[in-house]
Structure 1
Amino acid sequence: MSLIQRLRRRLFPPREAIEGYESEELVDIIFRKTIAFQGEEDWPLVTGLRTVLDFGGGAGVHYKTAQRQLPDIRWAVVETPAMVRRAKKLSTDSLRFFEQIGEAADWLGDVDLVHSNGAIQYVPDPVETIRSLCAIAPRKLVWHRVPISDGEARREVQTSYLSDNGPGQVSSPTEKLVRYKRTWIPEQAFIEAHEGYRMVERSPDPGEHGTHQFRFVPS
């Protein structure tokens, strides 16, 4: 973002706000940004994989990077009803969108990887959702940008700019704020929710200050 854009935001902050991830305006900008997104050059995480369940994967932005390396990879995105309705237009034989974890897993069959980047903290019950993801018996789970609490669960309202959501940049309507309810997940509860799995990697996530990234494999 340019200096002029930052100054404009500071001097003329948006007056309108969008509440939560079901907003059609928010879905629209993520959808259009995903279509314009060209993908990254390389993603070692997906090397050798056949099937991925992407929890909170938007309109399939991570698939666009993976598919460049592995044209035959099958990818199931689990998202909000509003995002699924819009993103279904992008469905192919290899990419599908679902509201329910079980439906996504049934379509994939064996799940090589459960991938989630900055999403689990926005669901009503993160711990129960983690248990549901483990219940489909993936070969590994990889989490990015997870806010971890040292004590009890802590809930807060997070605010972002509408135009900052989604990958890259596209023309956007009048700038607005977006508010989400976010949970800081207790460390012990997060780890224990992975029943049948063991943590093999944990580190601060470079993608968002104060969050962590994890990898779990069957125990």
Structure 2
Amino acid sequence: MKFVKRVGRKLFKPRDVIAGYENPELVETIFLKTVNYKPSSSAWPLVVGAKTVLDFGGGAGLHYKLACRQSQDIRWAVVETPAMVRRARELATDRLMFFDRIEEAADWLGGVDLVHSNGAIQYVPDPLETVKALCSVRPAMLAWHRVPISDEIRREVQTSYLSDNGPGEARASKEKLVRYERTWISEQAFIGAHDGFRLTEQSSDPTERGTQQFKFARHVRAE
């Protein structure tokens, strides 16, 4: 089926193009796919022991769904674009909330055990300043996935299929292309932006070619 899909895309490339993560059609696609997604029961070691998580670029709460499979009491704050926040707020509970500002998400949590971000930092206007803002909420740990790393900072225009955005399979609809800017981030600059934190893990991310994953832990000051 995947082979047929790839061939079909090559032969019949969509003509319609939408731009950016604020586009209502893209937001609705991600929202509906997240609502309908049924995660597997596999464990997620990263969130074991975490009581509060700030999920930067967490869409409509996909990662919260995954975390709840093993921790029903976890509190989760998603930081997203204003358009996604407006659409996803109907899913909010006393343990899941959506914000468009990092500091507001941190204030709601009261304290941040983990900052989690999967394939999002490269789509903000200034990735390094955003990293610094996330570090400023003083989480115990930061975990990054699918970060495009290069020798230097550079920007490019990336194109994806609308149906490929969000988890799982999309319902049948007219396919479109989505275009947005992506930043390749200098490894040295990315690590250096984590002032007050030490790098504990770094490796190639197996889920997306050319990207890396990182973990940082907050420095503990001696009394």
- Shorter-chain TM range is over 0.9
| Residues 57-96 of structure 1 mapped to structure 2, 5 A cutoff | 57-96=58-97
TM-score (norm. length: structure 1): 0.98
**Counterpart secondary structure, 1:4:** helix
Amino acid corresponding to residue 144 of structure 2 in structure 1: W
Q: 1:191-216: CA deviations, max 9, x gaps?
A: 11100001010000001000000000
Cα distance in 2, alignment partners of residues 38 and 171 from structure 1: 15
Cα distance in 1, alignment partners of residues 49 and 122 from structure 2: 29
| Residues 50-199 of structure 1 mapped to structure 2, 5 A cutoff | 50-150=51-151, 152-199=152-199
Cα distance in 1, alignment partners of residues 40 and 130 from structure 2: 29
Q: Gaps (5+ residues) in structure 1? A: none
Identity of aligned residues (%): 66
Would the aligned equivalents of 1:141 and 1:216 in 2 still touch at CA under 8 Å?
yes
Query: How far is 1:172 from its partner?
Result: 4.1
Query: How far is 1:6 from its partner?
Result: 1.5
Residue in 1 aligned with 2:203? 203
Cα distance in 1, alignment partners of residues 40 and 47 from structure 2: 12
Q: 1:112-131: CA deviations, max 9, x gaps?
A: 00000000000000000000
Amino acid corresponding to residue 194 of structure 1 in structure 2: H
**Counterpart secondary structure, 1:69:** coil
Query: How far is 1:180 from its partner?
Result: 1.1
Would the aligned equivalents of 1:27 and 1:82 in 2 still touch at CA under 8 Å?
yes
Cα distance in 2, alignment partners of residues 132 and 172 from structure 1: 39
**Counterpart secondary structure, 2:69:** helix
Q: Gaps (5+ residues) in structure 2? A: none
Q: 1:1-39: CA deviations, max 9, x gaps?
A: 522222111111000111110011111110011011112
